[in-house]
A and B are shown apart, each in its own frame.
Chain A
Amino acid sequence: MSSPIIQCKQLNHVYSGNLALNNVNFELAAGEPIGLVGPNGAGKTTLLGILSGFLQPTSGTVSLFDHPPGAKQLIGKVSALPQDARLDPSFTITEQLVFYGRLQGLTNPQAILEASRVLEAVSLTEISHEKPGTLSHGMAKRVAIAQALIGKPALILLDEPTAGLDPINVRTVRTIIAEQSSATTFIISSHDLAELDRLCQRILLLEKGILQSEILGQNEQQAATRFITLQMENAPAGEVITKFKTITGVLQVTNPQKNEFIVEYNPALQAQMDLQLIQCINMSHWQYRQLSHGKSLEEKLFFSD
């Protein structure tokens, strides 16, 4: 395993008398995007704020690339999309991106080129000479993501990158992350579990300031039992469960939500369970909307035993 890029040891943060983070310990290595989930007030923004150097932890230690947050060695190496942060309304987008590039040690011509590159990455070259006040919420968010991309940092912390965005902008942000994730490790805090499910192999769950669990996507492939999640169209739940249970290898069928079924099976007994299920659906003249391997992130995080 490669050396960790983030190390948090016994991290605590007290905010207005409340324990926002309670003895958080974890290590993260570079690689695929990492999701950070949890209910409102769970401490996600506080954790990202500490990692970015915006907040000082009450106790515990944090290091990024073996340096404390905010260290000069991290300039250009670690960047972030802070939640709800807005650019200065007095200057144009390019002026500010060039300024940030200069602060990262780029020369003026390099900073101009870099500003142009990051705006192109978020498909916003046409607004480079606009002021932030003229941008829509989605555009402003993409510009804020663009500033995080300046200098191709090795680690980018994104706090709610898709919050309040329309589906088209959500897709754009997802594409940006997917395109950049070969060279950059992203840590993404979000409430959109479907989005994180698509992007992240590894998920950290925070609840009431406590790190509850770390979900590793790849572990599922080595598990003794596997899951298939099926979205059906108006199928009779009782009948579906009964028929699915008759298939060889099926261990358990649950119906957590209307028209949603989770089939737990033994891959050693039935390697092609997906084909068996589709065949059963076809023979029963039911319709299905979606079949996916594994449980949804929501199920894994909040409804697993």
Chain B
Amino acid sequence: MSLTTLAKPVVRRKKIQEVKWHVIEDFCKGCTFCIEFCPVNALEESQKLNVKGVHPPKLKSEDACIGCGLCERICPEFAIYLEKVNTNEKEEEKK
């Protein structure tokens, strides 16, 4: 794990949309753009090694992602995607 990712704490900000964050681990080439440019520093390098021999990113905690979609857009490898969670359904389930 690099020192730069350790130095940045997660910024708490209001969520833009409710999403589930996914990474296709074997697509990652380890450029770390997603980790560097995440506006809330929600990502870090994981301990795992993928087929290309790099550490793919992972979420620091489940609720850290605010769903802005920047990592999905800036990933040159198409390795990150956000799955939209329908909040209305969730609320109905609670009821």
A binds B: no
Question: B residues touching A (Cβ–Cβ < 8 Å)?
Answer: none
Residues of A within 8 A of B (CB): none
